[in-house]
Every structure is written in C-alpha cells, then in structure tokens.
Structure 1
C-alpha cells in the first residue's frame, strides 16, 4: 500500500499509467484558492471533450473497503472543489489499446461555459495565458510551479 504524499494526498493500492479517449487537457480553468486568488486567478488544466484525442495520465486504484474509498473521495472533492462535474471514463494502457483496463474511472471535469461555470476561463491568446501563469500565485504556490510540475509528470509518464 502506498501512503499519502504531497502530490497524491490519499492512500492508494495501485497506480496505472495510461490514457483516456476523446479528451484533451487544456489550460482553460481558473484556480482561485490553490495557485491563484480571486483578483488574479491561476490558469490550470481541465479536460475538454475532443473526438479522437487521447489524454495520458495516471489512474489511482483505491481498494480496501468503503471507509478507505470515502477518505480518498473526500480528499479529492476538497482538492478539486472548483470542478463542477465528475465524469466516468474508460482507462486504457499502452499494452491494452482496444479494451479498457478500467471502467468507471472518475475524472473531475469542468463545464466549458462561462455563464454557468464561474471557474471556466476559456481559451485565450498564448501570450495572455503565459502572462497569467507567470504572475499568478496562491496559498499552495505559484502558477509557474503548477505548470512545471505538470510538465515533469507528463515527462515521467513518457519515460516509463
């Protein structure tokens, strides 16, 4: 069993590297309580539906009964509180491309509509997004650190 760490934050039994289909990662989401502030939101990633796309990442399997699962979900719901939807997806690995290795995987998603979702920023010119990421900061650190940690996580997935 893996113990909580600063990156994951909950006990998990297995980590799988793989991807989901028909989604892409986009920097269209505002974070005002971790890496930004209400007056200067950070830009963080959300998943956006995109036919034919694949989005690589990790799935964390939590086994061991309802209490352990509840603790993990409570932690994730606090951490991902700005996302307004939970979506169930199928998860594939490099060796299992035709049949999912996991079904019913929960991903936190954001409604891509500025009127119904106050945290949805939408697309912006690259220079504007770069300036926002370069200057936003919040209680958990600055937005640049988020970007660099995401880049490292994606690099580590490719290495494995």
Structure 2
C-alpha cells in the first residue's frame, strides 16, 4: 500500500524523502497559515520566527501536494518526518483524507498545529507576521527564505495563496 504525505509548506520544496508521485490535493477543514512560532528551524527561543501550520477551521480548505513515498522507503521516511516535524510537539501527526486533483481520495500523513501548544499563535495580523519573518533566523536558515521558497513553489505548481504572496512582497520591502 502506498504511503502518502500531505505537503503544504516546506514539504512542497524540500520533502526530504524519495517521492514516487506527486499530485495537487486539497485537505478540507484546515487552513494554511503562519500560526506556529518557530524556535528551532526558522527562529530561536530568544527571537522566534514563524512557520506554516495547518490550523483546524470549519469551512476552510488547504490545497498543496499529496506526495507518494517511493516503495521501500516508508519506515525511514516516517522516522525522518517525525524527527523534523515533531521537534517540539507543536505539530500533531494525523492521518487525514486528502482529495487528489484526479478525483481519488488518499489517507495521508499530515502535520497539523496543536492549538493548545505554547507555540501556537493563530490569528496574528499579517503586518506583524511580516515583521517577524523579515528578521528571524534559525537552525535551517532565515525565516524569509522559508517564506519565499514556499510562496515561489506554490506559484510554480499553479496554486495561489494570497496571504503568502502579500507576505513575500511585504517582507521584501522591509528587508530592502
């Protein structure tokens, strides 16, 4: 049986595992947003950054990529994803149905925010998000690089995220 992973942020441009197939897919009931304070990858405890997470919201949906893990790599992929995504337990690993563009529905490993976790910061104004992203740096590099890579990859695969596009433009003007 194929193992699927739902990518909506950095997994779009840096899955970190062998992908046998990818297809645009939509997850219902969740919205992609910078609702997680990053104290490891894109910020520090002293100066947190922001990373994308899936925030559970009624009537929301998020379109990203369903990534099929290459056969024989499932165990290693799951182990590495857990090391990467569950570093501070702000994400929760869930198996959720994603609706592929082809019409199929697949059950995919999906990382969603724990709204009760201390790193949850949903509902922050976009201007405040831009100020944080413009200046934060963590173990995986500058926060703005994460934003730019995600926004650019979404555009490359034909997905529009107006908030990310606005943030990328605003952060570029702050850092210019």
Q: TM-score, normalised by structure 2?
A: 0.75
- Runs of 4+ displaced beyond 3 Å: none
Residue deviations 1:4-51 (CA, integer Å, cap 9, x gap): xx8121122111212111111111101111111111111111111222
> Is contact 1:57-1:157 (8 Å) kept?
no
75, 82, 92: which one pairs with 2:80? 75
Is 1:10 aligned to 2:3, yes or no?
no
Q: Deviations over 1:86-140 (max 9, x none)?
A: 12211113342xxx431x2111111112xxx122123222222111011100121
CA distance in 2, matches of 1:127, 1:153: 22
Residue correspondences, number: 145
Match of 2:105 among 89, 92, 101: 101
Pairwise CA distance, 1:63:
4.4
What corresponds to 1:151 in structure 2? 151
Partner SS for 1:14: strand
Output aligned runs, 1:38-117, within 5 Å.
38-65=45-72, 68-81=73-86, 82=88, 83-96=90-103, 100-102=104-106, 104-113=107-116, 117=117
